[in-house]
Structure formats: structure tokens, C-alpha cells
Amino acid sequence: MADRIFMMNAHVSLSDPHAPLDLTQARIHFVGIGGCGMSGLARMARRFGAVCTGSDLQRSAVVDALTADGVTVVLEQTAAAVPDPCDLVVASAAIKPGHPELAEARRRGVPVLKYSQMLGRLMIGRTGVAVAGTHGKSTTTAILSHILIQAGLDPSFILGAHCDQIGGGSRTGGSGILIAEACEYDRSFHNLHPTHATVLNIEVDHLDLYRGLDEIVEAFAVFARRVPKDGSLLIHHETPQRLAVTARLDCAVETIGFAPQADWQVKAVNGHTRLRSPDGRIVASWPNPLPGDHMAYNASVAAVTAHRLGAPWDAVADAVAGFRGLDRRMQRLGERGGAVVIDDYGHHPTEIDTTLRALRRHYRPDRLICVFQPHQHSRTRFLMDQFAVSFGEADMVIVPEIYFVRDSEAERQAVTAQDLVERLRETGVQAMHLSPFEAIVERLQVIARPGDLVVTMGAGDVWKVARAFLG
């Protein structure tokens, strides 16, 4: 039954994990199609010739856009949602194995792939570029895609965020270059087939799946070993686990970082970045489009990778300088009563600390008020000590309820938003727990004043606070 999907292309089979996929007229159903990655994958499959349908639990702007483009989406996730005929079902990482649509597919003998498995199969026969790391994947992927578009290299990409400047969260080009984020959650990046890969950084996260840093490092090492001998890996020079990841690799390996010993050295001074090549030359420089040394680093990784793919240095520098950012990454939404409002996706302690420092130095506000929505109870509990010291740049932190996703009910009961507030207060940070979002908006309307910087942060739906505050 696994060969059924390609009955019109009998030379291609899902049973051969190394064969390129020909999606012409393949009937593919996407479970959880409303997510950034899944919607992008559906659009890409459609451009490659597939007939795509999907399901989700609620209507959204993404679902409406897919429908407008001719993709049939049903707002239910039952066995009846799987169309007949159907050649392949692709499931979001959030979909559990016992999901009714997956059960129906198995009952019918329809093959099922996870999102990352399908993405990996699409990389076969193409020049795949996988951007891995605990932080910065979306930004780096967006900048890299932007550079290649501006340089006329016509890439395809799938992005875990929305970027107006490059057409949204996905694109299907004609060059054979396919760029994607490589996520370590559930070891999904082990399903990819990159020709070129980057490892931006490695830190402790997803401790609901990993038992500690050693397992995370090993997962990155396995990912790196998926790069073929004629491919390349670009890795952060200052990452302490760099040698553990790069040991026994057959591909070309180069490092990038701020240290003089890095193969590619990033120098960020006074709002400008200079990039030094392994032979000691300054090959490109640009005014930083986004604040913070971490953004200079992400842009530099994108620049080196783009040049490796054929973009000339002058085009690289011009494109980076003209990059306008992406949604929920230090995104300036507007002002209210003289207070600037920023929205950001940061949900890990390192991201919070780095982002707040960058915003403090860039905007120099009288006060920085951060509305932080913790993402996952397990992450909040496991990294509580790190969270407690990551808000040092904030003058006030408002914490709504923890965003509940993926965890068990027992995990949900093990930690609360008030626990985080109490730990923040122990470190001297002015913090309060406030819920629901409407109450937070009302509080901001009372306390915000000219010269303040109001920052909403988190991987959940805390952006609604910023939007509502702006009115």
C-alpha cells in the first residue's frame, strides 16, 4: 500500500527513503494544516503538482488564505475529514498517534508521514539547507531566503514565522534550493536531508523529551552526520559542545562567531556588522537592520550560507541591510500615548535575556515593561532558575497564565505562573501575576506613560495583549 501514492509515477515509492518524490497528481491530506510549517508544506506540495486538502480545529487567517488559494480545509478533525480517495496523510508534530484522522488513514492503508518526514523527502534531489539551533532559526532562515531572492537565486523555503518581505511563510522557487528550519523538538531534524546545514547554538530545552544537555548534544551530532560528504556544516564557534557535534563528520566544517579564532568572524560595532572570511579579508559589511549582537550573528550566518549557495558578496550586503524583519521577532507594532510597543516570540531564558538587553540598548526607554507568557509548564518548571534571572533588564514583569501545550495534566499541576512571579521577586524584579489578557490590557492602560517600552513576549498568544493595548 505504501506505493499507492505514486501510482501515476511507478518509479517512485515511499518505501525507498532515498528516492526523490514526484508529487504530480498525488492526493495529500494535511492534519493540522493551519500551522506555519504545515501550511507552507501544503503550498509547496501543491506547487509541485499535488492535490492538497487539510483539516484544523479553528478558522484563522492562514486557513482563509489556503482556502482562497484552492485548498479545501475542513474545520473538524474526525475520521470523516480524511478525503476519499487519499494517497498520503501528513501530520503536524502536534498531532498525537491516536488522532482519529491518523487512525482512519491506517484503517484504509493510507501512508502517514510526519511534517518533518515529508519535508525531508522533499529535500532529496534538491539542494537542501537546514538551519538548526536552539534560538534564531526563523530569523536566520528568513534573512537567508531574502538574500537569495534579492540575488536572483529563486529559492524555495518554509519558515516557522511570517515575513511580509519574502512573501509570507513559504515560497516555491525554481532553482532547486530548499531552505527550512531544522527543529530539535522530538528529534524531527533527523528526518531532513540537507546538503548544507547550520548550527546556530545549542542549549538546554525541551526537557519533556530530553533527559539533559548530553542527549540534546547527541541529537545535534546525529543531525550533523546527515550532511553528506560533499556538503557543509557551519557551526557557532563559541558553542561549548562544538567539538562533540563535529567529531567524525565527513563534510566540510567551518565555524562562525565573534571570537578571533572563528573561521568566519563577526564584528558588530556601533550598529554595523563586518564579516571577516577565513583568509582574513573583510568580505561584507552592512548597517544592522535589527538591534542586538544576536541579530548581527544570525545575519552573518545567513550571509555566509547565501554566498556558499552562489550569492555575490555585494548582493549579500545590500540584501541584509534592506531586511525589514519578521513577525514576532522584536517587531515594533506602534505607539500608544508615547509608549512604544514591541512583540517578540522569545520563550527561553537566553532569548529573553538577549532580547531585552538589545531592546534596552536600542530604545533606551525610561521603563521597560515586559508581559511574559510562559510557554509549556514543563519548560517553566525545568528552567525556573534560568527564568528567574533572565528579566534583569525589565523594570516590571507581568505574567499571565502559562500557555498549556503538549504537557500532561500532571505537569500542568506541578507549576503555576505565580511560582515564576515569586521567583522573580526573589531576584529583585517587580513582578505580578495577572489574568485574563483583558485585565493585563487594562493595567497597561493605567500604568504606561510616555517614554516606556512595552514588550509582549512568548510563543503562545500573548501578542493579543499588544494588539489590544494599541487598540
- How far apart CA 377 and CA 188 sit, in angstroms, is 21
Q: Which of 269, 292, 321 is the last residue before a domain boundary?
A: 321
- DSSP, res 172: -
Residue 204: the pLDDT is 86
CATH number at residue 431: 3.90.190.20
| Same domain (yes/no): 287, 144 | yes
CATH number at residue 38: 3.40.50.720
Q: Which of 96, 119, 142 is the last residue before a domain boundary?
A: 119
What would you report as the CA-atom Rg of the chain, rounded to the nearest whole angstrom? Answer: 22
pLDDT per residue as tens digits for the range 145-163: 999 999 999 999 999 899 9
Q: Is 20 contained in some domain?
A: yes
Write the CB contacts of 364 (distance below 8 Å, at least 6 apart in sequence): none
| Same domain (yes/no): 113, 130 | no
Residue 372: the pLDDT is 97
- How far apart CA 461 and CA 348 sit, in angstroms, is 16
| Same domain (yes/no): 87, 69 | yes
H or E element, residue 327: none
Which residue do the cell numbers 484503517 mark?
A: 107
Cα four-point dihedral sign 50, 74, 463, 351: negative
Which residue do the cell numbers 548544507 mark?
A: 196
Q: At what angle do helices 313-321 and 293-308 cross, to 10 degrees?
A: 150
Which residue do the cell numbers 556538503 mark?
A: 231
Percent of the residues in the chain that have a pLDDT greater than 70, as a whole number: 97
Cis link prior to 365 (omega < 30° from 0)? no
The arithmetic mean of pLDDT across residues 182-194, rounded, is 94
Task: Measure Cα distances from 210 to 39, 76, 132 in Å.
Answer: 28, 32, 17
Cell output for 297: 550573528
- Tell me: pLDDT of 2 over 70: no
- Tell me: pLDDT of 96 over 70: yes
Residue 13: the pLDDT is 56
Residue 10: the pLDDT is 37
- How far apart CA 358 and CA 342 sit, in angstroms, is 12
Kindly report the pTM of this predicted structure. 0.90
- How many CB atoms neighbour CB 298 within 10 A? 29
pLDDT: is 130 or 13 the higher one? 130
Residue 164: the pLDDT is 93
The arithmetic mean of pLDDT across residues 273-277, rounded, is 97
Residue 464: the pLDDT is 97
> Across the strands, what pairs with 30?
54, 90
| Same domain (yes/no): 102, 131 | no
| Same domain (yes/no): 309, 337 | no
pLDDT per residue as tens digits for the range 3-23: 334 443 433 356 677 788 889
Q: Is 463 contained in some domain?
A: yes
Chain centroid offset of residue 56 CA: 20
- Tell me: pLDDT of 121 over 60: yes
| Same domain (yes/no): 347, 396 | yes
Q: Is 412 contained in some domain?
A: yes
First to last CA, the chain: 54
Which residue spans within 47-187 are E strands per DSSP? 51-55, 72-74, 88-91, 112-114, 127-132, 156-163, 168-171, 177-182
- Tell me: pLDDT of 324 over 60: yes
Q: Is 326 contained in some domain?
A: no
Q: Comparing 56-60, 126-130, 227-231, 387-391, which segment has the lowest mean pLDDT?
A: 56-60
Write the CB contacts of 220 (distance below 8 Å, at least 6 apart in sequence): 132, 184, 199, 202, 241, 245
Whether 428 and 395 have beta carbons less than 8 Å apart is answered as no
Task: Measure Cα distances from 369 to 339, 380, 440 in Å.
Answer: 10, 20, 12
Residue 336: the pLDDT is 95
The arithmetic mean of pLDDT across residues 185-206, rounded, is 94
> Across the strands, what pairs with 55?
31, 74
| Same domain (yes/no): 211, 284 | yes
Residue 424: what residue type? Answer: L
- Tell me: pLDDT of 302 over 90: yes
Q: Which of 321, 342, 365 is the last residue before a domain boundary?
A: 321
- DSSP, res 460: S
308 closest CA partner among 243, 230, 200: 230
| Same domain (yes/no): 6, 114 | yes
How does residue 225 score in pLDDT terms, banded at 50, 70 and 90?
very high
Number of structural domains, the chain?
3
CATH number at residue 303: 3.40.1190.10
How does residue 206 score in pLDDT terms, banded at 50, 70 and 90?
confident
> Across the strands, what pairs with 180?
130, 158
Which residue do the cell numbers 560533499 mark?
A: 230
Q: For the chain, give the mean pLDDT.
A: 93
The arithmetic mean of pLDDT across residues 373-384, rounded, is 94
Edge-first strand listing for the sheet containing 112-114: 72-74, 51-55, 27-31, 88-91, 112-114
Residue 6: the pLDDT is 40
- Tell me: pLDDT of 100 over 50: yes
| Same domain (yes/no): 267, 155 | yes
| Same domain (yes/no): 297, 343 | no
| Same domain (yes/no): 130, 150 | yes
Task: Measure Cα distances from 151 to 8, 105, 130 in Å.
Answer: 36, 43, 19
380 closest CA partner among 417, 343, 409: 417
> Across the strands, what pairs with 340?
335, 453
Whether 168 and 145 have beta carbons less than 8 Å apart is answered as no
Q: Comparing 19-23, 24-28, 271-275, 443-447, which segment has the lowest mean pLDDT?
A: 19-23
Q: What does the buried/exposed string (b/e) look like for 115-142 if buried means 16 or more CB atoms within 10 Å of the residue's CB?
A: bbbbbbbbbbeebbbbbbbbbbbbbbbb
Q: Is 222 contained in some domain?
A: yes
H or E element, residue 324: none
| Same domain (yes/no): 210, 98 | no
Provide the residue range defining the domain that includes 229.
126-321
pLDDT per residue as tens digits for the range 64-81: 999 998 899 999 999 999
